[in-house]
A and B are shown apart, each in its own frame.
Chain A
Amino acid sequence: MSIRNRLSGLTRTEEGHKRQTIGPVSRETLEGYLWALPYLAAFAVFLLWPLAKGLWMSAHDWNPLLPSESEWIGIQNYVELLNDPFFWGALWNTLYFVVLTVAPMVVLSLVLALGVNRNVKGKTALRTIYFSPYVLTIAVVAIVWLEFLSTDFGPINYYLDMFLGIRPQWLTSELLAMPSLAMTTVWWLLGFNFVILLAARQNVPERLYEAARLDGASTWRQFRDITLPQMRNALLFVVIIQFIYQFQVFGQPYVMTSGGPDQSTRTIVYYLYQSAFNQQSFGYAAAIGYILFAILVIISLVNYYVIGGDNE
């Protein structure tokens, strides 16, 4: 490297490209940091700071109205939480909801995506129809389904009564309330997964299928050995996102069942909300948030390694 080049801040890389340096850092690297700076600042302010504040709160008997009077209690909130039957009940309810929603939502959206990817008539309209519930807010979804699932006044029970002579208590019996919320949720959020998986399916090169067909591979074999592996990343994304999303379910039980009947639809985030806003126990609520965070990290890692396998 010539003295002249060094003085002017120009270096020659192994590939022969010229790169400007300012001190020990290349100009390109510096520019990269500068471009990322606004996001990093927002990340620090809106994520790192709240995370740290939440952790700090969870170690206090936090007084939200007079924070200076909050009392340091260490891990007491976490100890109480682990001995709190309401928390375990909420955790169990949440797990049940996740089981009822994630698998059907992923499988159904995959089936729909593969179906609509074919050359069917009106597939554009079908795509719109499948996706459209996703644009509704939970308030609208809840109001619509509250009417549909009404025991005495809903259209579903009207026809069930007419043809089968039954009137299930969809939202008011412990047996059916959570499955009803799950059914509503699957209908509501299916469109998101559908769009992701449809895009992923459309990115699979057709030549792979042509080659498989030439080799005489059955439809099932094509699905197993081409479609699924090629869509693995999208599936991994959808599964992880849905686990994270469904573990945080709040709006549906809040609006549709108030956590009932007999607390059978009270979920972790609902309990967190109640602890914070109704019981004014913000430290306790923060501890619930951190437990939920830990659960989600573990589940995401498990999903990543189970579904992702050796996929880099």
Chain B
Amino acid sequence: MLTYWTLFGGGDGVVMSSIIDKFNQERPLGDGVGIRRQRVPWDQYYDRLFTALTGDAAPDMAIMHGSLLRRFSDVLVNPMQHLDAGLEDQYLASHSDMVTINGEAQALPMDFHPAGIYYNKTIFEEAGLDPESPPSNWEEFKAAGDAIVSETDNHAWVPTPYQDGVGSYRAWSSWVKQAGGELFNDDYSEPLFNNEVGREMTQTFYDMTGDWGWAEQTSEENWGNRVFQNGNLGMVTNGTWYVNVMRELDDFEWGFFKPYVAPGHEQNAAWADGHTVILPQSADRNDRKTRLAAEAANWITTQNPEWGTEAGHLPAGREINESGALEEAEIYDKTLSKFLEMAEAEEYFFHPQWPQGDPNDESNWSWLVDVWAHNSEPDEAIQGAEQTINNAIGN
């Protein structure tokens, strides 16, 4: 049996569970090869995985976000070295880029999950906006937000439904990049966002809950999620996974649009990260088992279109993307098609892949939430953020 750790809950947890069930029923690698899946809750996952890695007790395979691969590269096996030559072509180039660090694959890519904007069509109608023509630039976005606030009793937009730092970073960093600003240097060893564009975007966040009255000045966890699901929020930025939440809401007329609505927009750019399957180094695992783990990871990442059609992510497998399966998905028109267009046009950038430090640690980005909640002033916050990030990555 191959041990396999995952962190998926909710909709994509169910899909991953069904994929592993299928593997264990079909036994594509032979009768003797099965997968024992262990789901660790998201908030504990990386701590446990990290502890397992340091204690040489890691599973044969595990899910890891692309943004963490550089940090753990010392203890990861290159799966390509254990697969037949040519199998790397099974993956889309964009996804392969994500897992390649210093010219070597650190994992097998499973998906991309960029961020976009979900919106409430009913509120758009109430505000006198065309629910079938969501904003496509800053002027339209600003006008839509102002109309929602002035014409209805609802809130306009939040950068993240969870009111969390990482979620805020998705929206904020997308806008910084769209306006031509930089976030980090090439090897992610230095933050560069304390620049004019970065400050402007931070000020925009501040104004939204200040003078513009777009949302409450709050950092309360899940605030955006609650008001959006209650039908009191017009627009919210979030990733591919949010589609499963939206699908479960009865009588909720919702739509989705690409997030290219930054003030001072110069280029299309959306924040993205992705799930990958890693093979941690293990003194106890022989070459045969490592090869089987690589083949199982290859099967998981290339043979399961439901990871896109049901879980809502952009699968890394070329065959899945070319098979037409995604086009037949119920969510294709609403979200998948737009996410696919964004990926095919390479209109994305990766979440920071720091050599040290956890880019998903809340405290790195909580300054954005504090600006949003008016707990701190924009300029002061971004200066503090630079110091925080430098501290986090060991500068």
Distance in Å from the Cβ of A196 to the closest Cβ of chain B? Answer: 32
Output the residue of A84, A171, A261 with the most chain B CB within 10 A: A261
Contact B220 A279 (CB under 8 A): no
- Judged by a CB distance under 8 angstroms, whether A281 is at the interface is yes
Contact B363 A169 (CB under 8 A): no
- Chain B residue contacts of A64, Cβ below 8 A: 50, 54
- Chain A residue contacts of B216, Cβ below 8 A: 151-152
A173 vs B370: C-alpha distance when bound (angstroms): 9
Contact B375 A278 (CB under 8 A): no
- Quick check: which of B68-76, B235-243, B303-311, B324-332 contacts chain A, the rest being far away? B68-76
Contact A278 B218 (CB under 8 A): no
Contact B394 A152 (CB under 8 A): no
Contact A86 B375 (CB under 8 A): no
Contact B375 A173 (CB under 8 A): yes
Q: From the candidates A150, A263, A277, name the one contacting B220 in the complex (CB within 8 A).
A: A150
Q: From the candidates A66, A146, A262, A280, name the one contacting B376 in the complex (CB within 8 A).
A: A262
Known: A66-B74, A277-B358. A259 touches B366 (CB 8 A): yes
- Chain B residue contacts of A172, Cβ below 8 A: 218-220, 373, 375
A-B contact count (CB 8 A): 90
Residue of A nearest to B358 (CB): A278
- Judged by a CB distance under 8 angstroms, whether B8 is at the interface is no
A113 vs B232: C-alpha distance when bound (angstroms): 48
- Judged by a CB distance under 8 angstroms, whether B140 is at the interface is no
Distance in Å from the Cβ of B393 to the closest Cβ of chain A? Answer: 8
- Chain B residue contacts of A279, Cβ below 8 A: 356-358, 361, 391-394
Contact B72 A262 (CB under 8 A): no
Known: A278-B392, A280-B71. A261 touches B375 (CB 8 A): yes
- Judged by a CB distance under 8 angstroms, whether A33 is at the interface is no
Distance in Å from the Cβ of B224 to the closest Cβ of chain A? Answer: 11
What interface size band does chain A fall in?
A: 20 to 34
Known: A65-B74, A280-B356. A169 touches B220 (CB 8 A): yes
- Judged by a CB distance under 8 angstroms, whether B223 is at the interface is yes
- Chain A residue contacts of B132, Cβ below 8 A: none
Contact B47 A263 (CB under 8 A): no
- Judged by a CB distance under 8 angstroms, whether B36 is at the interface is no
Known: A152-B223, A169-B220, A171-B220. A263 touches B358 (CB 8 A): no
Contact B363 A259 (CB under 8 A): yes
Q: From the candidates B75, B226, B361, name the one contacting A278 in the complex (CB within 8 A).
A: B361
Residue of B nearest to A151 (CB): B220
Distance in Å from the Cβ of A92 to the closest Cβ of chain B? Answer: 16
Main secondary structure of the interface of B (DSSP, over half): helix
Q: Mark A270-281, 1 if CB is under 8 A from B, else 0.
A: 000010011111
Contact B54 A262 (CB under 8 A): no
Contact B75 A274 (CB under 8 A): no
- Judged by a CB distance under 8 angstroms, whether B369 is at the interface is yes
- Chain B residue contacts of A262, Cβ below 8 A: 366-367, 370, 375-376
- Judged by a CB distance under 8 angstroms, whether B53 is at the interface is yes
Contact B54 A65 (CB under 8 A): yes
- Judged by a CB distance under 8 angstroms, whether B346 is at the interface is no
Q: From the candidates B356, B361, B375, B388, name the one contacting A174 in the complex (CB within 8 A).
A: B375
A83 vs B251: C-alpha distance when bound (angstroms): 56
Residue of A nearest to B53 (CB): A65
Residue of A nearest to B361 (CB): A278
Q: Mark B77-97, 1 if CB is under 8 A from A, else 0.
A: 000000000000000000000
Q: Using a CB-CB cutoff of 8 Å, which residues 162-179 of chain A contact chain B?
A: 169, 171-174
Q: From the candidates A65, A153, A260, A277, name the one contacting B72 in the complex (CB within 8 A).
A: A65
Contact B218 A169 (CB under 8 A): yes
B residues with a Cβ closer than 8 A to A are 46-47, 50, 53-54, 71-72, 74-75, 164-165, 216, 218-221, 223, 226, 356-358, 361-364, 366-367, 369-370, 373, 375-376, 388, 391-394
A and B contact pairs by CB, cutoff 8 A, 29 listed: A63-B74, A65-B72, A65-B74, A65-B75, A66-B75, A86-B388, A151-B220, A152-B218, A169-B220, A171-B220, A172-B220, A172-B375, A174-B375, A258-B366, A260-B219, A260-B375, A261-B375, A262-B366, A262-B376, A274-B361, A277-B358, A278-B357, A278-B364, A279-B361, A279-B391, A279-B392, A279-B393, A280-B358, A281-B394
The 5 closest A-B pairs by CB, nearest first: A278-B361, A278-B358, A261-B375, A172-B219, A258-B362
